Structure 1
Amino acid sequence: MSEVVEPQPEPGWEIFVCDEWRARVLQEITGLNGPPYADGHAPCPALLPPTFLVAHRTDPAAMGVPDAPVRLNAGNWCRWEAPVMPGEILERRTVIESVTTKPGRDSDLTFYRLATTYRRRMTRDVVARTSTTTIRTGARQGRGGSGHHTEPPADAVPVIEVVPSSREVVRYAAATDDFYEVHYDHAFAQARGLPGTITHGLLKLAYLARAAVQWGGRGTFVRELSASYRGMDRVGAPFRVLARPDDDAGDGSSRRLTLYGVSADGVVSTVGRAVIERSEGEDGQWLS
Structure 2
Amino acid sequence: MSTNGRDIRIWLALAAVYIVWGSTYLAIKIATESIPPLLSGGIRFVVASAVLGTAVLVRKGRQPYRISRRELGGAALVGLLLLTLGNGMVALAEQYISSGLAALLVASVPLWLILLRAAFRDRPHVLTMAGVLVGFAGVAGLSLGGGTSAKAVGIVVILLGSVAWSVGSFLSPRIPMPKDPFVASTVEMIAGGLGLLLLGGASGERLHIDEITGSSLLALAYLVAFGSLLAFTSYVWLLGNAPISLVSTYAYVNPVVAVGLGVLVLDEQVTRGMLVAGVLIVAGVALVVSTERRKRVAEPEGAALRRVSS
Is the structural similarity TM-score above 0.5?
no
> Going by fraction, where is helix more abundant, 1 or 2?
2
| Larger RCO: 1 or 2 (CA < 8 Å, sep 6+) | 2
TM-score by length of 1: 0.29
* TM-score (norm: length of structure 2): 0.27
